[in-house]
Structure 1
């Protein structure tokens, strides 16, 4: 039996609760000013998405942490505790996230890395690993893109990659001999698993945990050509 991830279920419950409140207000069962509630508390939805993303892809924490920070500051602004604007928050938080990514050495280059971590904001990154003992990593793309090529890598048993894409995109290329399983949380975004499962039941497995917010992720398999 397939179960939906807990963060996705919690977001679904939140949406249903809002719908039920609106319906009860229309039926005059309760007196709820839905418009006023939404206008005051909508930043909590941003916080909820950030928390759900952090729970789904904790290894790719940079993006979700930034999203939570934006939501909290916007909520304080809506409550009159801070004088802030959405666009006024974006650029300083983006600078902070870039600094954090540099301090934590996210995005360190290397073609034989067993663990690949990459975080991009407003730019693109192309990464490649040829490690014979690839273990996984984390990819965070915020208004940018990441291309990870693993077609010359190998896995001993299982590896895991966490993907977070906010207004960005991530593409992962894997060998045809790998079995790929994708799970996660799409929020006005999507992912595509374009790989074909190998016939070998003991094939190496790559688990990809994805959170996409108005972004996308694609995993596809293929052989490495000389022109690639």
Structure 2
């Protein structure tokens, strides 16, 4: 089945609003654009939810799509005065649930066995000069981390590396000649792991790379993005 992109759904809505504006400006019909926007803006939220549901890559994206779709429909029904839903109760449940999920994500999953490096409202860069991979945990809290493993001294065998981005970003570059495996989860953020990407309220994905060389080295990344983003790309 062909994937239906979110751009397609949003394009249809923008096209319809444009046609309404054109008809109004030509005097063919007297359409209140302001009234249309104030009433029907939840359609964009609904389109976002449908896009996740139609193109989901994980169970997490399905849950995100359902939640966003529910919010869009609730706002639309309220604007149409068909059904007034008390959304304040929904949000009272939403944030505690997010905090619980964040706590669970920290308590579960594998970790690197080495020491950790933190970028707190600052930055860590290792992308121009040779460096030794003696730290297997990297945390970006309202900061940024850039690591280029092309210049890293990587031990033979498998090395597990834990990446956590909280309201921050982590950019990783890995050479194509070594094996790489990526596993990640995201809460209110985004992941781009080699050939796969995901994002939303709650989502998860995984990706891998078979090295082009004869290297016995392997990097395994365990990624966690919370209101932040992690990107892992393969380079020559």
TM range (shorter): 0.3 to 0.5
Whose strand fraction is larger, Structure 1's or Structure 2's? 2
Using structure 2 for the length normalisation, give the TM-score.
0.46
- Larger-gyration structure (1/2): 2
Using structure 1 for the length normalisation, give the TM-score.
0.48
